[in-house]
Amino acid sequence: MAILKRRHFLMHSSAAAAAGALPSNIRKALAVTPNNRTGTLNDVEHVVILMQENRSFDHYFGTLKGVRGYSDPRAPILPDGQSVFSQPDGKGGRILPFRFNVAHTSSACLGSLDHSWKGTQAAWNEWDTWVPHKTPMTMGYFTRQDIPYYYALADAFTVCDSYHASLFGPTNPNRLFLFSGTNGLAVGQDGKQAIDNVDDGNWSADMAHDKPDFTPFTWSTYPEALQKAGVSWKVYQEYDNFGDNPLASFAQFRNLSRSSWQYQNARSIVPGSSTETMKDTDGHALIKAFERDVANGTLPQVSWIVPPAALSEHPNAPPGYGEYLISRLMDIFVTHPEVWKKTVFILNYDENDGFFDHVPAPVPALNAAAGFTDVSTQGEVYHGETVGLGPRVPAIIISPWTKGGWVNSELFDHTSVLRFLEQRFQVEVPHLTPWRRSVCGDLTSVFDFSQANPDWQAHLPDTATYLEETRRSCKLPPPLVPLVQTMPVQEQGQKPARAIAYDMTADWLVSANATTLVLHNIGLRTATFRVSLNHTNTRHYTLRMGSAVRIPVPHRHGQTVQVYGQNGFYRFFRTGLPLAMTLRHDKEKFCMVLDLTPLSSAPDFSTVTVNEAYSQQTLLSQRLTARHPESLVLAVKPGTMWYDLTISSAATHKLLAQFSGHCENGLPDWTDPAIGQPHQ
């Protein structure tokens, strides 16, 4: 891939660095008062979508303050008892995450890792095969010092730490989800395009180079639905678009008259871009065309920006050049505040390449052996395997209504972008599967349209020299796994957290001859769970609002059960104890109620201790008897809505059960205070 060397780029980089333009454009964006004509979603008049390439969430933001990153207190445990962050290398060793230090290595220009279709779900069900499949480089990550502008954006606006790729696979099928809501499976097209990069090999935007022997896709796309509804839209692209405009693979956008709306909106090349400029493009023509429309008042209601290869951040395209592109677009917005005040800018990434992320992807269960779902899986299955979701990828929502350095932990994927457009413009997303529509949110929880102009000042890094350093870093030695490995240190502190509508329980019921785990979704959003026995045999559960499932558990001593849900929800139970345990949230009384009920036929327990980690309280330390069940009340209120209850034997200190998570009450809060604390 071309590395930017043009004099224009270097001159612009130096000028921007000298003038401090990168911090300035974020400050100016924060100063703009949002359009609040109605105080609703209708105040959004423009949505700009820019999907970059091949980065995972932990790889970019695992050390960012407040997000569920490298110091996640509820990170999964692997079958061998090690943390998910300690990945086996397949040779008897372990690899921890290690920094891609751009000041000392060429890690910013590292080539791509294996990012093909996941194959079988069984190979990834325990989330412990990253290194054998992807090489040790999978564990590399960047920090604020390496990608300062992106960290500044996350500090200034809203980052989504539960945004997943649409499927565990490469670029093209993920981009099909962004532009059409499906990879073809929802419309009965189960060919290779559903899981692989299928195109005609024309990686330019020039329609004249479309291959006539390619069999194009024929299902309808979301831009066509917008067109039919009278919503203006456009794809901005240079001659070099890295093959990242999937509309070129659809029959309805091929062999076009150049005067047609299909060509003008989807296939046209911005002025000033040609085959002569594509080899070392710096995005100047793309930026200029976008600026012209913003300045002239002709910016469409919906825009997709498709960068050239060198600015795409696809591995061996440095992240710094992506930051350059985004900063130039922010320059345009803040120069035209009347447009910016009514614009949403969505920056996301199509897939994770081969880079590690520690949060296992939610998937629908296809049979009882895999778990349970009460939502249809039609359109989610490729030749007997579930396709999605994929690993987490970065997503920052930049707008006057999302400023404040917020974190949103609702489950999203690429179809969430289309559902946001659906909500705003009332244009239904075609082909969206029942499971995906039910499980993935529509991004509206990211925004606060009620505030006219919330006061917020970003604490921005000094980025005066980072562009020049990015250019030089490609000549440095390649990154290596450190000889002495240590866990990353995540930034300390909390960020404000948006309200999300999850409310789930996992109750532990016992009788004389049976133990049952009961999952119950009492929230306003469909909930997903991962349930493991002894940190293995993982099963996936999807429950609609108001539904529940009863799961038989082996009724013998020595087993453990782990339950993972959204936003830090976690339960741990040790089997063989004649003790029923339930935890419920009493929203009216602002409290959590823990009920401990010994079996009526059980002998007296040894003394048990109940501790709450966040408040550092001991709530109970006494002998439990069948005649005297215990009901413990833990007060929770806004600002302290996190809980971490442990039940242990006072004699042996062995953990018997754990209840952890966040009490959702429809109000904003702060991110998990345990994030950023030193590893135990």
Residue 120 class from Cβ within 10 Å (0-12 exposed, 13-18 middle, 19+ buried)? Answer: exposed
Is it the case that residue 154 has pLDDT exceeding 90? Answer: yes
Q: In terms of domains, do 550 and 415 share one?
A: no
Q: Higher-confidence residue: 12 or 161? A: 161
Q: CA 558 to CA 546: how far, in whole Å? A: 32
Residue type, 59: H
Q: Higher-confidence residue: 17 or 23? A: 23
88 has which bridge partners? 94
Look at residue 575 in the predicted model and tell me its pLDDT.
Answer: 93
Asked if 85 and 485 touch (Cβ cutoff 8 Å), the reply is no
Q: Higher-confidence residue: 371 or 653? A: 371
Q: In terms of domains, do 164 and 255 share one?
A: yes
Mean pLDDT computed over 624-645: 85
Output Rg (C-alpha) for the chain, integer angstroms: 25
Is it the case that residue 452 has pLDDT exceeding 80? Answer: no
Report the CATH number that the domain containing residue 350 is assigned in CATH: 3.40.720.10
Q: CA 398 to CA 46: how far, in whole Å? A: 12
- Name which of 573, 574, 577, 567 is nearest 643 in CA terms: 567
Q: CA 617 to CA 407: how far, in whole Å? A: 28
Asked if 603 and 645 touch (Cβ cutoff 8 Å), the reply is no
Mean pLDDT computed over 156-174: 97
Q: Is residue 484 part of a domain?
A: no
Is it the case that residue 455 has pLDDT exceeding 70? Answer: no
Q: Sorting pLDDT into bands at 50, 70 and 90, what band is 22? A: very low
Lookup result for tokens 């180079």: 209
Q: In terms of domains, do 469 and 577 share one?
A: no
Pick from 18-27, 61-70, 561-570, 600-609: least confident: 18-27
Q: In terms of domains, do 267 and 148 share one?
A: yes
Mean pLDDT computed over 434-463: 78
Q: 145 — phi, psi (to 5°)?
A: -70, -25
Look at residue 77 in the predicted model and tell me its pLDDT.
Answer: 96
The set of long-range contacts for 549-552, using a CB threshold of 8 Å and a minimum separation of 24, is 549/372, 549/374, 549/518, 549/519, 550/516, 550/517, 550/518, 551/516, 551/517, 551/518, 551/519, 552/514, 552/515, 552/516
Mean pLDDT computed over 83-95: 97
Q: In terms of domains, do 458 and 523 share one?
A: no
Q: 248 — phi, psi (to 5°)?
A: -65, -15
Is it the case that residue 2 has pLDDT exceeding 80? Answer: no
Q: Higher-confidence residue: 480 or 626? A: 480
Look at residue 546 in the predicted model and tell me its pLDDT.
Answer: 96
Look at residue 507 in the predicted model and tell me its pLDDT.
Answer: 98
Last residue within a domain, chosen from 473, 508, 539: 473
Q: Sorting pLDDT into bands at 50, 70 and 90, what band is 5? A: very low
Mean pLDDT computed over 50-68: 98
Q: In terms of domains, do 552 and 642 share one?
A: yes
Residue 345: helix, strand or coil by DSSP? strand
Q: What is the mean pLDDT of the chain?
A: 91
Q: Exposure string (b/e) for 183-214, b if CB count within 10 Å is 16 or more?
A: bbbbbeeeeebbbbbbbbebbbbbbeebeeeb
Asked if 65 and 326 touch (Cβ cutoff 8 Å), the reply is no
* Domain limits for position 161: 7-473
234 has which bridge partners? 303
Tens-digit pLDDT profile for residues 578-593: 899 999 998 877 789 9
Q: In terms of domains, do 468 and 509 share one?
A: no
- Name which of 326, 257, 526 is nearest 412 in CA terms: 526
Q: Is residue 488 part of a domain?
A: no
Look at residue 466 in the predicted model and tell me its pLDDT.
Answer: 54
Q: Is residue 651 part of a domain?
A: yes
Tens-digit pLDDT profile for residues 218-255: 999 999 999 999 999 999 999 999 999 999 999 999 99
Is it the case that residue 468 has pLDDT exceeding 70? Answer: no
pTM, full prediction: 0.94
E strand or H helix at 266: none
Q: In terms of domains, do 465 and 506 share one?
A: no
Tens-digit pLDDT profile for residues 551-583: 999 878 889 999 999 999 999 999 988 899 999
Last residue within a domain, chosen from 456, 473, 490: 473
Is it the case that residue 125 has pLDDT exceeding 80? Answer: yes
Mean pLDDT computed over 471-497: 94
Is it the case that residue 312 has pLDDT exceeding 80? Answer: yes
Q: CA 361 to CA 358: how far, in whole Å? A: 9
E strand or H helix at 542: strand 536-543
Q: Is residue 338 part of a domain?
A: yes
Q: In terms of domains, do 135 and 264 share one?
A: yes
Is it the case that residue 679 has pLDDT exceeding 90? Answer: no
Q: In terms of domains, do 514 and 426 share one?
A: no
Q: Sorting pLDDT into bands at 50, 70 and 90, what band is 637? A: confident
Q: In terms of domains, do 246 and 317 share one?
A: yes
Q: Is residue 678 part of a domain?
A: no
Tens-digit pLDDT profile for residues 655-665: 999 999 999 98
Look at residue 462 in the predicted model and tell me its pLDDT.
Answer: 47
Q: Is residue 175 part of a domain?
A: yes
Tens-digit pLDDT profile for residues 322-379: 999 999 999 999 999 999 999 999 999 999 999 999 999 999 999 999 999 999 999 9
Q: In terms of domains, do 222 and 318 share one?
A: yes
Q: Sorting pLDDT into bands at 50, 70 and 90, what band is 279? A: confident
Q: Is residue 368 part of a domain?
A: yes
Mean pLDDT computed over 644-649: 95
Q: Is residue 487 part of a domain?
A: no
Q: What is the domain count for the chain?
A: 2
| Percent of the chain predicted with pLDDT > 90 | 78
Lookup result for tokens 């992240």: 319
